[in-house]
Amino acid sequence: MGLLDGRVACITGGTRGIGLAIASAFLDEGASVVINGRDAAKAKRSMDELGAGDRLHFIGGDVKQRSDCEAIVNGTAKHFGRLDILVPNAGGGSDYAPIAQLTDEAMQDALVWSFWHTFWTMRAALNLMIPNNYGRILAMSSVEGKMGKPGISSYVVAKHAINGLVKSAAQEVGTLGITVNALCPGAIETDIMKQDGPGAAQAMGLTYEGLLEVFANDSAVKRLNEVGDVAAVAVLLASDAGSGISGSLISIDGGTSPY
């Protein structure tokens, strides 16, 4: 018997990295899962690997678009008949630079990708969850949701904003059987980190390897985190035992964050 038997989850950016690890862990615990991504071919490869049959469904879409965010959430409820767990997991940034050189577009992109997408999916999900008096929302924040770092302010700002949204939402729906929490992982070498890391490193005046070293050295464990670390916490928060945990910003960062 799984901890999430019969539950239906929706994970944005679920075709790789942390989102895929959460999808896999949720499936292992008996949930049905919708994963989202922009690339249907990539999604198909991930779905073939997971081999979960009818319990896994893909909804394509770009989380930088409000209509796509709403379609992903509402599409999950339509496909599986309900929505119990939302993981707004997608996010990132582009054209990182020190603030003195940061463009409006780069700041906007990070905010839309991480923060607005979390708000859009959360709002749509709450409208489904409130009538059911049940729900779990696990927003993907970051150690950068609690700390600042030079050169990646757009990412830091978006993740801090997510933490504020999570704390407020938790207070709004606390008596309705809905919990809202944020996961704050340390650096993980996911595909997106490999893709965007070199640009972020440059904005921080580092090489990509130097960037990974800075993150590892900030931690107590002196190494990067792994996607499975995050998935294990996600399962706990999504389970019945997580009903008393809300408005929390859970650090999964090898001891990096000060609080």
Active site residues: 155
Assess 249 for contact with another protein (CB under 8 A). Answer: yes
Beginning with the edge strand found earlier in the chain, give each strand of the sheet holding 56-60 in spatial order: 56-60, 32-37, 8-11, 85-87, 135-140, 178-185, 249-252
Q: Which stretch binds another protein (CB under 8 A): 68-76, 131-139, 201-209, 214-222?
A: 214-222
The nearer residue to another protein, 106 or 180, going by C-beta atoms, is 180
H helices of the chain, in order, are 17-28, 40-50, 66-80, 104-110, 117-132, 153-173, 191-203, 208-218, 227-238
- List the one residue from 61, 151, 186, 199 that touches another protein (CB under 8 A): 186
Assess 148 for contact with another protein (CB under 8 A). Answer: no
Rounded distance, CA 177 to CA 254, Å? 31
The nearer residue to another protein, 131 or 258, going by C-beta atoms, is 258
**Which helix (H) or strand (E) covers residue 250, if one does?**
strand 249-252
The nearer residue to another protein, 69 or 249, going by C-beta atoms, is 249
Assess 5 for contact with another protein (CB under 8 A). Answer: no
Q: Which stretch binds another protein (CB under 8 A): 73-81, 87-95, 119-127, 169-177?
A: 169-177
Binding site for another protein (CB under 8 A): 167, 170-171, 173-175, 179, 186, 219-223, 225-226, 228-229, 232-233, 236, 239, 241-256, 258-259
